[in-house]
Amino acid sequence: MTSCRQMRDAIVATVRRQASDADRLRLEQHLSVCAACRAEKARWLLMEQLGEQAPQRLPSDARARVLCHLTSLPEQEDAVGGKARRFLPLLLASTATVGVAFVLLAVRGRHDSAIGAAGRDDAHRPRQMSVGEERAITVQAQMAGAIDSAGAHIAYPANASFSVQPGGRQVDLYAGEIDVDVAPGGAGRFRVLAPHFTVEVLGTHFLVGLDRVETLHGIVRVVEPSGQELAVVSAGQTWRLHDMRESSDTHARQTRESLPGAALAAHPAPGCPPAGPVVSRNAARTRRVASVAGADSFAAVARPVGSERIPASRAAAEQAIETTYPSADQLLAEARTVLAGGDTQRTRECIAGALDARPTTRQRAMAELLSADTLLVESRYDEALAAYRRTVNRFGEYPEGETAAFALAQLLCERGPPAEARVALDRYLARYPTGRFVEEAGKKLAKTPAP
């Protein structure tokens, strides 16, 4: 009887495809009677799988953002010694805690409770204080004020309501608008969570309201609560939820989840690379507006704003820009309409325009599916099959992926060998057991002859 210890080498060799046939046979015999070795083999297989997984890479625009941040780091000497530095955060945290406790006591003593435990307080006068790291701090301001939180300075007007989460790097905004100045080099990303979106920054100065984000310095990223990126807003740009929703509402309900690019004015941060195609696209838009509206209005739109608020004329110009040039969603909707009319050339133009308009992942899935449909309309069946396969492969988690999987099976039923059609139908049913086309797929499977 072979011992488990002897079999360990055979397991490793088998998993790494280096075992001889004899070793494999011996191992299989052993595994049929040894549960411990079966578990060991499974562990090796899984670790091997992890090793074979391609490492995740940053896209080039993300690298550019990181590099931009690194080259703009403030000069600070690393003067504190190693051991002292180890205790420095602890010391600072303790000091901050004591400071906050002192301030809270003082505030309570004066019956002026603007800042305190969640949902408790109102502010009656401007104040300036630091936030500790142990507990959430809620501000319901009746007058303007400011607080410092983990390397960020948060100024708020009257009627603003927000809370700073423990750690000080996350702010939940409930009402009003806050002005946040985040010093670079802090621990991780600073996040402001508004009800419908989240703003993520590493070091910058920006304003956040319930429906808008304005960047005064640096770059911020606006994401959906699910993590889907909505926009990258550079210095001088303003992003509005309202504009985004308007363009979204023109579309079918199925596209509501994948919000299109936001309305931005084009002012890349000085010295920083443009953050993805949003900026370049909007820069192009601004140039177009300049050619239409004349040099004076272009100057009004393109003037860097620094720390100033955006004037009303610029807001109007942005509105004009956004209404003049269609969003990815609008272009995809048009592509669907013209494809229904059989105009495949125009469909391709619309799809290309949508892909050029910095689409979300969901919109890319729609574009892929529409491309496949276009090929089908043109009776280019082999290419259509390949396109549907590509859509399933890339966007299987999205409804478009499911549609493509069924379309693939359907096309194979009509044009391909029955065996392949059966496999495709089986896969569809296995992958989407509660899918939209389950009933139809079941019927087709019953009708497709077995090989």
Two structure tokens written together for 261: 């690019």
The answer to the question of residue 33 lying near other proteins (CB under 8 A) is no
Give the contact letters, 385-404, x = binds to other proteins (CB under 8 A), - = no.
Answer: ----x--xxxxxx-------
Q: How many distinct helices (H) and strands (E) make up the chain? A: 16, 15
Neighbour count for residue 225 (Cβ, 10 Å): 11
- The pairing of beta strand 170-175 with beta strand 190-193: parallel
Identify any residues that bridge with 170 across adjacent strands, giving them in sequence order. 191
Amino acid identity at 356:
D
Q: Which of 21, 78, 296, 439 binds other proteins (CB under 8 A)?
A: 78
Q: How many CA atoms lie within 13 A of 91 on its CB side?
A: 6
Closer CB to other proteins, residue 59 or residue 433? 59
Give the contact letters, 218-237, x = binds to other proteins (CB under 8 A), - = no.
Answer: ---------xxx--------
The answer to the question of residue 25 lying near other proteins (CB under 8 A) is no
**CA-CA distance, 424 to 135, in Å (whole number)?**
54
The answer to the question of residue 51 lying near other proteins (CB under 8 A) is yes
The answer to the question of residue 28 lying near other proteins (CB under 8 A) is no
Give the contact letters, 298-327, x = binds to other proteins (CB under 8 A), - = no.
Answer: ------------------------------
**Where does this chain touch other proteins (CB under 8 A) — which range of 44-52, 230-238, 335-343, 379-387?**
44-52
User: Could you say which residues in the range 330-369 bind other proteins, by CB under 8 A?
Assistant: 361
Q: How many CA atoms lie within 13 A of 446 on its CB side?
A: 5
The answer to the question of residue 63 lying near other proteins (CB under 8 A) is yes
Amino acid identity at 1:
M
Kindly state the smallest distance separating residue 181's Cβ from other proteins, in Å. 18
DSSP assigned state of 123: B
Kindly state the smallest distance separating residue 135's Cβ from other proteins, in Å. 17
Q: Which of 89, 119, 166, 185 binds other proteins (CB under 8 A)?
A: 185
Helix (H) or strand (E) holding 401: helix 399-415
The answer to the question of residue 17 lying near other proteins (CB under 8 A) is yes
Q: How many CA atoms lie within 13 A of 170 on its CB side?
A: 10
The total number of residues written for the chain in this structure: 451
The answer to the question of residue 409 lying near other proteins (CB under 8 A) is no
Q: What is the largest CA-CA distance in the chain?
A: 91
The answer to the question of residue 15 lying near other proteins (CB under 8 A) is yes
The answer to the question of residue 101 lying near other proteins (CB under 8 A) is no
**CA-CA distance, 407 to 384, in Å (whole number)?**
10
Kindly state the smallest distance separating residue 328's Cβ from other proteins, in Å. 15
Q: Which of 25, 33, 67, 340 binds other proteins (CB under 8 A)?
A: 67
